[in-house]
Structure formats: structure tokens, C-alpha cells
Amino acid sequence: MNIKGPLLINFHERKIYNRKSFKIFILLIFTFLGIFYLIYSTLFSIFPSQNHHSYLPFFFHPFSSNHHGTFHGKREFIKQKILAKFYNKYCNKNYESYVAKKDYLEKSKEIFKLCSNSKNSFYNDDDDKNYLGTTVFSENIFNKQPYISNGYIGSRLTNLGQGFAFDQSSPGNYQYEQNPDSFSNGWPLFNKRFSGAFIAGFYNLQYRTPGVNFPELLDIGYESVLSAIPQFTTLNIKYNDLILNPELTKPNEISNYSQIMSLNNAIVQTSFIWQDALKVSFETFAHRSISTLALVSLNITNLIHNETHLEIIDNLNFNTSQRCDLEELGYKKKENSIYMVVTPNNLPYSFASIYSSWDYQHTIDITNQKHTKLKKPKVNYSIQNNQSVNKVLYINLKPYESLSLNKYVGIVSSDYEKLDISSDYESLLKSTKEQLNQIKKKVESHIDSWNKVLNGIKIEVPSDGLLTLSARSSLFHLLVNTREDSKGVTSALPVSGLSSDSYGGMVFWDTDIWMIPGLLPFAPEHAKALTYYRYFTFEQAKRNAKYYDSPGSVYPWTSGRFGNCTATGPCVDYEYHINIAISLSMWKVFLSGAGDLNYLEEVAWPIIKNSANFLSAYVKYNETLKQYTTFNLTDPDEYADFIDNGAYTNAGISTLMKWALLIASESLLNKTEEINPKWLSIVGNMYIPKSEYNITLEYDGMNSSVLIKQADVVLSTYPLEDFDIDIEQGLRDMHYYTEKQADAGPAMTFPVFSIISSRLSKKGCSSQSFLKKSSYPYIRLPFGQFSEQSNDDYLINGGTQPAFPFLTANGGLIQAITYGLPGIRFGYIINPNGDFQRVLKFDPISLPILPEGVIIKGFKYLGQLLDIIITNEEAIILHNGDLDSNIENGDTILIEVEERNFNKGLYELNSGDEFIVPLFFPEKNINGSISECFPILNLSDGKYGDVANSANDGDNSTSWQPINDQEAKLIIDLENYLQIHKVIINWGNRPAEYLNVSIIDGEINEEIDEIQREFKGKKENEFEEILVEISRNDKLIIENCKINISHPYDAEEFGKVQLMPDNITEINIEEMSIRSRFIIVGVKGNLNGDYDRRGCTIAEISII
């Protein structure tokens, strides 16, 4: 390259200066220095350092005495900064950026507006994403932790995405030393909550649990509780004498934090920067189709400009297990593995083997974006105190280099049905290793397996993002804790699945009556597999009956490995209705088509028949009543023990006899069955106690002061739809017991009320307010898990340490949406020729609270795939074709539209058909109401578990109650500017002292959701100020109206079990010529004057 004109004279040769050339030289020097400085400034703005000036050449900070090396070192630093930018752009594709998470935080605020503790939680609801997460590194606490599971193995995950920790915080923010009970997982273990690891069916044997129901039964049978195996996800990091460990790491050590749980593939991703030096990412999952495999992937990047020494520690620590005995531990250097074998307490013939291996073959070379093999770094193996085994990788990372490490864990128990192994643990260990060797090349199949499980499944409530999330997460939590091929004891599904030992990990009726029906429409094989656990314990159930000199079989209230009668799970004198629940689940599996005639004959029928025989021997005939009665039992309401004639139990016994007679007599079996004559005598002839005012009594002698723990009497309407209860009777019972439910009741109660309201209510929209009440108070962010209680603080909720996650609630919510709103039931008819035929009952209702309806896709029935869509005017069933149907009618299904629909009747639906019926529209509760079922929002806190929609849902038995007797406010959106003539308030039996009603006058463009956003997080005393910000034309139309009691308290009347008259206030404002869209109702105090400092109840607000 030729440059004309000398820029610099060679002084040694010519000793002559060229003034023009010298000026050009000086100009270029300063230009170069300016550009150099700009480059540095730009780099530091993008990649800030703790000491920016320390990296500048000395002439940019002449007063600094620390120059940090030579110009060569500075050039190397610039190179590393450029490489870091390259890394962030091209090499970090496993996780979305922290900035992107902030975007989702903003988008999620609208969905989470009615959830407590939603700050910094986010939800990406795109169908191809569908994940939940948080950007806050919290102390370990159960209701903010994700988990992994595949229905065989599971583990709750810490805030680091791996490892073990006891809870470090509790609901109510108590310290452990201050209140250890707040850290307890409750009855029956009362152990401190922890991030445990579990295997399906890995139950122990122990004399007793800390909590029991009947201590006098301790000697008749030992308990069997789920054992927690050693935590298998642990992968710690040591750096500068610090260890990245979930029990030791403090929040100030972590930045740029993100933890995500995918609802599409059950992968949990946790990423953060540790010590401002290392970018760390963990990806953890339990393989969907390879049940014995878990994987923890680690990616770690050196963010500082010095070479860094790290130690990666794979650890199996027996001390992270509970209720186990250690059999063997060790390592195999040649196989790059560590292992541990444990047995559940007192069961030496049962084993579980954990075998952990890893590969770390590649590190990212950012300069050419290639993977480079590591040069056999040092690995050390050790055993500590014969309790823990470690494998440590020693590695040096240059600036901005990354290490990728995959930890593969094979976990197999001797109960696993797919292994052919001997009873010794050496054989089990060998089988575990073989399983691991088989799967190393199949990790990518995990996502494919999830895609197959979720193929075509979708539940959407377009107008309510939180209900959509609740439905999707509920289905996910049921799917992730089950599998289609489970058998024997490994098909046991505890209340909290495989991520917690809540309720001792034992199996209750929750699985049979809540979870299985919830799974049936979307994963019928998963649902059917769960019933095999009851078949597994069936022989013991027959032995239980024999022990009590009874025929047939009887199941205990709680079950573990054996299904024997215990002090936590009595077989008699307690909750006999569990036998009905088990039979009901199997009957529904058959009616839905998940089970064929062989399933009915070989699995369901033996249990239904023997349960019927046991209960027919249990009941007693009352000569006076001329009906059969029961005695000394507990109905689902566990607040009432040792009662006689539990209404639900008696209804269930009658229904069970009906099923037994139907199966035995309608040629559903390939053999002739002898019919027990007592079945015929009992069916339809069980005594159901009633009050003189025709309210079904929960039990003999029940009085009006009753407080109900959970849904009880109403269960006779659903799920016992085969118990032919009169519609008017069902309505009376629903209205009466709505008001009797305990505030602190469990989360599966109100889904039942939602379903029953959908089926029976002739007025209003409480099916939808109950639906919201089933979800909003119980869902916990950031990971969309349901709690058993609406408030997790046991000092506030009545003393219950909630089960978590509460899969029972997930099953209930799915049933409320899937069966309730569209009125779907798995039914049957007897043809004129006497043949039995399965039908799908259809009874859809209008959904004014959910104005865009509901979309249910991937509904499976009789081997067919259906979509069910409810719009504002009609309901649609789309028949999308045949799955692998072996049902008697091929791809033809029968739809029975119920009586109240204009298109009632029986219809055939074939593949490709579209079936459309009009909706049933309930009447208005009060004629002329313009506010019933319209959007409403509480601007003040309500009682735990309440939702504002209960105040205008057209159902006088539902209500909203302020949390205290201070001023509280609700706002209603009429959605149009309308003339207002009258305000009617139904107070129920707890009127307010004062009423205020105001309007927002004028033409306002803001929707109620925007008003709500304005109020979110504000204090009550800021109410008027915020309204002024929205519109300066607000107007008080009713001020401090003193309420008169229309129906004063009468002790004699309140002592009767009857529907009580309501206190109603009616104010005529027609002469004021009021016209508005937004109505604000303010209440204060309560006229009951009792010790309860909560506010009044608002059963119904009607604007006329």
C-alpha cells in the first residue's frame, strides 16, 4: 500500500523535520487515542467491572498507581470482553436472557393480579413455551419450589435447582427457633419440610407414626410410610473455598437469577451468576418414558478475566434420606460412577439402588465456537463416615470458557415391574447400571415423549388467564406424577405425588375420587394404571374383612405398601366410604372406555362385588324405618366422628349395590355371577336422614351449628350421579351446606359445588364463582402448584399444615371445568333389546362470568378424540377421529343431551362430525338486575378463600366477606352506561352497619381491569385519591346509609336445620336519574355484634 507524502521522517538518516507531516502525525495519534478510548468506554458500558479504571492504560488515569500489567495484557482483556459478548449472543441458547424474563414479568401481572405473593413470578402462555418461573432467589420454602417427576421417581428442587435443603423459611415468615411447628409437614409425620427424593411405592414398615387416629389399633398392624431416598440431584460447585450448596448459599451471592418449570416437558431450568464470577445453569428432569432415569445438566462459565479453578462435586449422601437403612455405598472408577443402595426401614427384602455417572467431554471454545475435549482432568473419589460418597472433578476454566457436564442417575427399586431381578441388592445394582448404559444416547427422547402425552390436549378459558393457568398446571401436575404402564405398588399415587411426604406419602380416597376422574378425559391410560394399586392390595383387603369376621373385602382409610388396617387407616368404625370411592373410580374407568370388558371383569368387578358384600353385611335393617342404616362411622366431613347414618356413605352404599346388580345382570361379564339377594334389598332402600324442613342431614342428630370440614352431603349429587337425587333436594342441600363450609376447608371442596351448581342451578352463575373459588385462593406461584389450604400459615388457617402440592385440588379443578361447565358425564343406557351401551351425557350451560367460554381439546372417550367448545350461545363437540379404539361401536359414540336443553335427546356422532346444541341459560335471581354475573372486583381484602364474584353471582347462598369490620369496597362494571333505579343488597344473616354507594360519572375509557391495576398494592385509604386519578367526576349517591335488620336473629329459628330468610336492604334512587357504568359499593361494620371481628357478608348486590 503506497501512501503519498512522508508521515514521519527517519530522524537517524535525515535529521530533518517536515512540519506538514508532523502535524498529520500528531492528528493521527490523537485520533487513534480517541478511538481507543471510545472502544474502552463502550466495552465497560456493556461489560461493567468492579473497577473500570484498573483495565485502562496508565495514560488514561495517570493518578492511579495500579496499572495491572502490560499492553499485551490489556489487549488480551479486550479480546476476552469481545469473546464474552460473542458468548452471550451465540453460545447461551439454553435459557432466555434475564431481560426477556422481565418482559414476561410485565405480561404476567394481568394473569396474576388476584394471586398473593406473585411479585417477580412470570408465565409464558405461548403454546410452544408454556412455562412458569421466577426471577427472585428466595430462601428454601416448600410453596416456592419446583420439582421433577415422571410417575416413578421424583424430587423436590431447591432454589439452586439441585441438591438437598430443609426449609429455611415458613408461611408467616417465622424463624425455626421461634416457631418450629410452622416448618412441619403436618399429620401424621410432623417432620420438618425438606427437598426430598422419592420412588413410587417405596414404602417402609414402622410400628407407629407420630400422629395416629386410633392409638388402640397400634397392635393390629404396623404403618407403612413412603421413604425418602438419598437426594440424587446434588451437583455442588466449589470456587475460592466457597461451595455452591442450597443450604449454605446466601441471596447476596446470587444475581441475574431465574428458575423456570416447563408445563410442556417438565424440565426445570435454574440459572444465575454466582459471586459475580460464574454464570451457572442447571437443567433437571426425570425422563418421561425411561422411568428409571434422571438427568442434571450443568453449564458453568467463567466471567472473570483470570483463569479459575473449580471443583464439581457429585454426591450421594445417606443423611438426605428419611426412613431408610443404608445397605451399601461406593464408587467404580473405571465406570466413572458412584452408587448407593438403601432399603426402607424394617423391610430388608426391598431395595433401591442409585447409580450416578457423568460425562464432561466438552468445553466450549468461544474463539471458534467449537467443543473441545477435556484432557483427562483429575477426578477424585471418596467415602465420608460410611454415609456419603463423593466424586470430584477438578477443572480450570480460562476467561469466558464454559464447562458442560451431564449427570445421569439411574434409580431402580426392587418393586419396579419392568425389571427381572433377584432379591439381593447386588443384582439390583447391576440392573440399575444396565438401565443407565441403555439411556445415555436417548436423552432427546424425553421431550418427544412429553409431546406424545400432551398431543392435542388443551384447556383454555380465554377470558380468564388465571383459570387457564390453573387448569393447565393442574393437568400437568397430575400427568407428571403418573405413568401409563405402572403396576403393583409403584402405581400408588400419594396426595402430594412424588415430591413430598405430606400425609406420609400414603394413598387416600383422594386418588380414587379426585385424581383419577380428573385424568380420565386426557390421559385414560394413566388413570387406569392408578386403579391397579387398589387391585394390588385387593388380597389384603379380603384379609382385612376376614379379620373382622366379615365377607368380601374392606380397604383401610390410609394405605402404603400393604393395605392393612392401621392406627392411621382403620378399616372399620371410620370412613367406610373409601370402598365406594374405589369402586366408583373403576366404574368410571370402564364407562369412559379407558377400561374394556376384560378390565371390568378381571380388575373392577372383583373389587366392586366384594365391597358390596362387605357393606351389605355391615348395614342393619331398621324395622321402624323399614330401611337399612349405618352406625359408628365418619363421613367425608372429618369434624364429625363416630356418627350414625352418614348421608353420603348411605347414598354411596345404595349406589354401589346398583352397580353390582347392573354388572352381574346385564351380560357385561363372560361368566354367570350369582347375585347376592341382599344387594336387591338394599339398593334404593338406604335411610338418608332429613330435617323437618327437608334438608338432608349429614348424619343423625346434626344441628344447625354444624361446621363442615369439606364437601360431604353434596357428594351424593356429584360424583354419585347414579344416586337419583331429586333436583329440588339437591338444590336445597347445596344452598344450605354452602354456608356451612369451614373457612379453612381443603381445596377440593368447591370444585364439587361448581359441578353441582352447573347441573342444578336454575338461577345465576355460581358455577363459575365456585370455579374461581376453587382456584384463586389455592394456587401458589411461581410454579402453579395448589395448596391444601387457602392460607398456608397454620396459625391463621385453624391449625393445619397444608399438604403441598395438593394433587387432590388439581383433580377437582379439572373435573369442575371438564365435567361441570359442559355438563359431561360418562353414562350408560339399557337399549330396548336389553343391551348395555355407554353414552356421553351433555348438558352445557351459559357462562356469563367467563364471556368467551371454554375450550377443551384432546378429550378422549371410548377411544375417540373430541374437542368440546362452549361459546356465548352454543356448545360444540367435534369428533376428531379414532385413536386405538377397541370399543364395541367402532368410531360411533352416543351423545345424550339432558332434559333441560331445547335439543334434548340421543344422538350418534361419527368421526368428522360436528355436533352443536344451544346452551341452557339460567334465569336472573332478581328480575331486572343489570349487575348479576357482571365483572366485579374487591378493592379491600376479603376473608381467606373468598372471591368477589360470590357477591353478584345470583346465588344467595354464596357471599363475599371483608376480612375485618372496617370500611371495605367492591366495584362492579356494568360494561355499558345504564340508568340506575334501585340498589338491593342481600346481606345473608350478617348485615353491615353502614352502606355507601358511589358511581364514576362521565364517559370513561378505562376498563375495570385498568382500574384494578391502579388499585393493586394500594392501601384502602388511598381509594378516593386513585379514583380521582381515573376520573374527577366520581359521585357518592348513597352515603352512610344505616342498615336496618329485616330478619332479626331468632335463636329458635337459627337452631333449626333450614334455609334461613335473608336480610335485605332495598334503596330506590330512581328520582336521582343516575346513569353510570362503574358502581362502587362500600360497607362498614356488622350488626351481629359477636366476637368475630370479620365484616358483614354480602350475598348479593343487585343493581336495577
Cβ pair 997, 981 in contact under 8 A: no
| Cα-Cα-Cα-Cα dihedral sign, residues 675, 676, 680, 686 | negative
Please choose, from the candidates 696, 701, 705, the residue with its C-alpha nearest in 3D space to the C-alpha of residue 1054.
Answer: 705
Q: CA 946 → CA 203, 326, 916, distances in Å?
A: 38, 48, 35
Side chain identity at 1043, as an amino acid letter?
A: I
Query: Which residue from 908, 904, 912, 885 is spatially nearest to 895, judged by alpha carbons?
Result: 908
- Asked if 730 and 756 count as a contact pair (C-beta separation under 8 A), the reply is yes
Q: Which long-range contacts (CB under 8 A, 24 or more apart) does 877-880 make?
A: 877/842, 877/909, 877/914, 877/915, 878/913, 878/914, 878/915, 879/909, 879/910, 879/911, 879/912, 879/913, 879/914, 879/915, 880/456, 880/911
3-state secondary structure 117-174: CCCCEEEECCCCCCEEEECCCCCCCHHHCCEEECCCEEEECCCCCCCCCECCCCCCCC
Identity of the residue numbered 22: F
State the DSSP H helix or E strand holding residue 80, giving kind and residue range, or none if neither: helix 71-86
- Helices vs. strands in the chain: H and E counts, helices first: 23, 42
Of 160, 165, 166, 154, give the one whose Cα is nearest residue 197: 154
DSSP letters for 258-320: EEEEETTT--EEEEEEETTTEEEEEEEEE-SSSTTEEEEEEEEEE-SSS-EEEEEEEEEEGGG
- 523: helix, coil or strand? coil
Torsion sign, CA atoms 648, 651, 653, 658: negative
Containing 590, the helix (H) or strand (E) segment is: helix 577-592
Whole-angstrom Cα Rg for the chain: 33
- Write the CB contacts of 888 (distance below 8 Å, at least 6 apart in sequence): none
Query: Which residues, in sequence order, are bridge partners of residue 620?
Result: 629
What does the alpha-carbon distance between residue 608 and residue 604 come to, in Å, rounded to a whole number? 6
- Between helix 807-815 and helix 749-760 the angle, nearest 10°, is 10
Q: What is the DSSP string of 554-566?
A: ---SSBSSS----
Say which amino acid occupies 770: F
Written as one letter, the residue type at 61 is H
The cell numbers describing 993, all together, are 352497619
Q: What are phi and psi of 736, to 5 degrees?
A: -65, -45
* Cβ pair 617, 653 in contact under 8 A: no
Please name the amino acid found at residue 313: I
Cell of 417: 415391574
Which cell numbers hold the place of 201? 411405592
The 10 Å Cβ neighbour count of residue 586 is 27
- Smallest CA-to-CA distance from 185 within 952, 849, 669, 805 is with 805
H or E, element range at 323: none
For residue 426, the cross-strand partners are: none
> In this structure, what is the dihedral angle of CA atoms 176, 181, 185, 187, given to the nearest 10 degrees?
160
Which is the catalytic residue, given 311, 638, 888, 1022?
638
CB 753 within 8 Å of CB 812:
no
Burial (CB count within 10 angstroms: exposed 0-12, middle 13-18, buried 19+), residue 1080: buried
Task: Specify whether 76 is catalytic.
Answer: no
Is residue 970 within a helix (H) or strand (E), and if so which, with residue range?
strand 968-980
Residue with cell 367425608: 636
Query: What is the set of active-site residues?
Result: 638
